[in-house]
Amino acid sequence: MTKDEFESLHQDLLWREGIENQTSNVYRGRSITCGTAFGIVELAIRGNGERRLWVLLDDEEVKVLIHQLAAGIGCQVNINKNIKV
Report the pLDDT averaged over residues 22-43: 85
Banded pLDDT at 47 (limits 50, 70, 90)? confident
Per-residue confidence (pLDDT) for residue 44, from 0 to 100: 93
pLDDT over 80 at 38, yes or no: yes
Instruction: State how beta strands 31-37 and 40-46 pair.
Output: antiparallel
d(C-alpha 25, C-alpha 31), whole Å = 13
pLDDT digits (tens, 9 = 90+) for 62-79: 999 999 999 999 999 998
Confirm if 79 and 65 have CB atoms less than 8 A apart: no
